[in-house]
Amino acid sequence: MSGRKGGGGSASGRGGLHERVKTARRRTASSTRWLQRQLNDPYVRRAQAEGYRSRAAYKLIELDDKFGFLKKARAVVDLGITPGGWSQVVRKANPRARVAGIDLLACEPIEGVAILEMDFMDDAAPDALIEALGSAPDLVISDMAANTVGHPQTDHLRTIALAETAADFAVQTLLPGGAFVAKVFAGGADRELLMLLKQNFTSVKHAKPPASRKGSPELYVIAQGFKGRGDTAPEHDEGE
C-alpha cells in the first residue's frame, strides 16, 4: 500500500523541535497536556501533511499492512466514521470501493462515501446502512468508541457493547469471505464476542497498531474469511 504513504516517511521518525505549550489563563491543565501532545504527535503532523482528517487513519493503514483486508474490498461499512480518516484510507487504497459510514456526529463529505448522521445503536441503522451502500458489504470496519466517562470499567463495557453490536451487524450482512475489523479495549474482545467471531470467521486476531497510543487501552480485533450464513451469494469476483 505504498501509494498512500506520502513523502512524510515514518511518523515516528520526525525530526524537529519539541513544541512547548504555554498555559493560557483559561486553559485547564488537562487541555494544555492534550494540546501539547497533539502538537508533538508525529502522526498528527503526518496526517496534516498527507491530507488525512485524523491520526486514526494510520491505525487502519498499519492494520491493513499487517492483515491486508482493503485491497479486495468493494463495499465497505465504516462505523464511527467521523471525522473521516478511515474512509479516506479505504478510498485511497481502493478508489472503486463504495463506502457507507455512520456517526452520531456530522462528517464532512468524502467522494464515494454515503454518510449517515445517526446512532448506530438505533434499530433503523442496519437497514439504513445497507440501503445507503446499495449492496451487502464485504468489509465492516468499526472505530466506534463510547464517550469516556472517566470510569474505566463503564467505558470498557460501553465500548464492548458497541463492538458486539458491530459484530452482530457484520455477521448478519457480510458477504462470504468478508472481513470485520473493530476497536475493542484492553484484554481484547470479551469471551462472547470472541466466540461469535470464531464461529463465523476462519481467522480472528488481535493487534495494537503502532499509531495507537501506548498508554491507551485500545486494541483492534481483525476477523477475516467470513464463513457465510448459508443464504448468501458468493464473494465478488476480483475483476468486478
Ligand X SMILES: C[S@@+](CC[C@H](N)C(=O)[O-])C[C@H]1O[C@@H](n2cnc3c(N)ncnc32)[C@H](O)[C@@H]1O
The residues of the shown chain that bind ligand X, judged by CB under 6 A, are: 53-54, 56-57, 80, 82-86, 102-105, 119-121, 143-146, 162
Terminal CA-to-CA distance of the chain, rounded, Å?
Answer: 20
> Under a CB-based contact definition with an 8 Å cutoff, are residues 120 and 165 in contact?
yes
**Sign of the CA dihedral with 223 first, then 98, 142, and 51 last:** positive
- Cβ-based nearer residue to ligand X, 213 or 236: 213
Cα gap 178→114, rounded to integer Å? 20
Nearest approach, Cβ of residue 53 and ligand X (Å)? 6
Residue bearing cell 508525529:
42
Q: Is 22 a catalytic residue?
A: no
- DSSP state letter for 146: P
- For 11, residues 6+ apart whose C-beta sits below 8 A from its C-beta are 42, 43, 45, 46, 58, 211
- DSSP state letter for 12: G
The tally of CA atoms less than 13 A away on the side-chain side of residue 193 is 29
In this structure, the strands spanning 218-226 and 201-207 are antiparallel
Residue bearing cell 501539547:
36
Which of 92, 183, 198, 227 is an active site residue? 183
Nearest approach, Cβ of residue 102 and ligand X (Å)? 5
Q: Measuring CA to CA, which residue among 185, 170, 182 is closest to residue 229?
A: 170
- Cβ-based nearer residue to ligand X, 19 or 117: 117
Residues known to be catalytic:
183
